[in-house]
Amino acid sequence: MNLLHEPPPAGFDGIAKTFAMARQIPTTNRLALKIGLANDGVLFAQGELDGYRQVSFFSDHLRSLGYREHLLGSQEEMFGCDMLFAAAPPPQRRAGDGDPSFIRKSPVELWPVRG
């Protein structure tokens, strides 16, 4: 996996090691799929995988880290890659989340309205 911008984002070392492990998985075909990693709309790393098993192994790991997988899009949107993984934005906090004593529960309908 080639890093395109310095400094690398947090956790990139683990992603690079996973990519290296994926490259070691034997394949029956050489597909030469370009894989890209993006954060905030900027491509920060790029690499190439050869087969389904390699792509599947790498994809499963990145999805577990919260990356979103993109397969379809224009050349500009995909940065010229066949498969793009974008870092998910951090979760938004609601106003009531700061107070742990206040627990919001979803409303429950005890008796359905009959019409």
pLDDT of residue 87: 83
Handedness of CA 61, 65, 71, 77 (dihedral sign): negative
DSSP E strands in the chain: the ranges are: 2-3, 33-39, 42-49, 67-70, 83-87
Element (H, E) at 114: none
Is the pLDDT score of 58 beyond 70?
A: yes
pTM comes to 0.70
Is the pLDDT score of 37 beyond 80?
A: yes
